[in-house]
Amino acid sequence: MEEQSAVCRIAISPMRGEPNDQSEIVSQLLFGDAVTILEKTEKWWRIQTAYDDYQGWVDFRQLTPISSIDQNHHFLAPPAVNNTLIAADGSKLYLAASSYLPGYADGYCFAGAEKFKVDFEPLVVNAQLPRAALKDLAYFYQNAPYMWGGRTLFGIDCSGFVQAVYKMAGIKLRRDASQQVEMGTTVDFLSEAQLGDLAFFDNAEGRITHVGLLLGSNEIIHSSGKVRVDPIDDQGIFNRELQKYSHQLRIIKRII
């Protein structure tokens, strides 16, 4: 099939493992996310995201075709809850933080041929942000509920959380913790960890199953039940509410 491209035209679109509404949500598209169309059925398109090469099935009505993918987006929805777009018919879309604003100029952005008025001040991507900015971005999500495959304030998983924080800082991460652990350089000791380093955790089989953003050498913010701040030591994360260790530390990686 000839390669085709599309862009997400709604605020949040579920990506599913199989082409049906009952299938597991493996991730989410946010407004402005560009994709390559790999396969089509009557209702579903199997797509691959331009940002992190993640694959899944999406209801085609939530996408709009585009002629080519432009990955040089520099404007995002900021960490706020009132990111409003106004469509040509006057209806509104409320964007999740870190959503792209394709073609942004003079207060407007586009999803294919659809034009939207941007009723907020965009976040300009800046990979030179100080490390301290990562903490502020991460704390925006504090208390957001954990949701497998989620990428928003109203439901987010562990890897989606750190990916969103880094995205708003202008740094690209892959989608899953098992992929993210392959990035960056290893920090040998927890005592050497800095704000913004990523800590990874494994299960009994040694498989990476969790990731969080270190706030220093003794605290971590991560999505587990909700986005929360917990103490961490060489053994792992200690859950204050449960009064026990919840995750076993495997490795620390430095991305910036």
CATH of the domain at 48: 2.30.30.40
- Do residues 6 and 62 touch, judged by C-beta distance below 8 A? no
CATH number of the domain within which 229 lies: 3.90.1720.10
Report which residue type is found at 27.
S
Residues 137 and 239 in one domain: yes
Q: Which domain holds residue 86?
A: 75-124
Domain boundary among the residues 109, 124, 139 is at 124
**Taken in order 127, 249, 219, 229, is the CA torsion positive or negative?**
positive
**pLDDT score for 71:** 63
**Claim to verify: residue 236 and residue 167 sit in the same structural domain:** yes
User: Is the pLDDT reported for residue 69 higher than 90?
Assistant: no
Same domain? For 149 and 200 the reply is yes
Same domain as 114, residue 145 = no
Same domain, 88 and 60: no
Q: Are residues 62 and 79 in the same domain?
A: no
In b/e form, how buried is each residue of 83-100, taking b as 16+ CB within 10 angstroms?
A: bebeeeeeeebebbbbbb
What is the rounded distance in angstroms from the CA atom of residue 219 to the CA atom of residue 238? 10
Same domain, 158 and 202: yes
Domain stops at, among 66, 89, 109 = 66
Domain match, 158 and 213 both = yes
Type of residue numbered 150:
G
Separation CA 226–CA 242 (nearest Å): 14
State mean pLDDT over 196-214: 97
Residue 206: pLDDT band by 50, 70, 90 thresholds?
very high
pLDDT bucket at 2, cuts 50 / 70 / 90: low
CA gap 176, 183 in Å, rounded: 11
Instruction: Return the pLDDT at 126.
Output: 77
CB 10 within 8 A of CB 31: yes
**How much is the mean pLDDT over the chain?**
95
pLDDT digits (tens, 9 = 90+) for 179-190: 999 999 999 999
The better pLDDT of the pair 131, 218 is held by: 218
70 pLDDT band, cuts 50/70/90, is confident
Average the pLDDT over 66-80 and give the result.
85
Do residues 162 and 202 share a domain?
Answer: yes
For residues 18-35, average pLDDT = 97
| Structure tokens belonging to residue 139 | 């704390």
Q: CA-to-CA distance for 159 and 166, rounded, in angstroms?
A: 11
Predicted local distance difference test score (pLDDT) of residue 72 = 64
pLDDT of 1 reads: 45
Alpha-carbon dihedral sign for residues 133, 135, 139, 142 = positive
Same domain, 185 and 215: yes
Q: Which residue has the tokens 């003794």?
A: 218
Tell me the C-alpha distance between 100 and 91, whole Å: 19
**Which of these three, 124, 149, 164, is where a domain ends?**
124
Asked if pLDDT for residue 67 goes beyond 50, the answer is: yes
Q: Are residues 116 and 41 in the same domain?
A: no
Q: How many domains does the chain have?
A: 3
Do 135 and 198 lie in one domain? The reply is: yes
Q: What is the pLDDT of residues 124-178, one digit of tens each?
A: 997 677 888 999 999 999 999 999 999 999 999 999 999 999 999 999 999 999 9
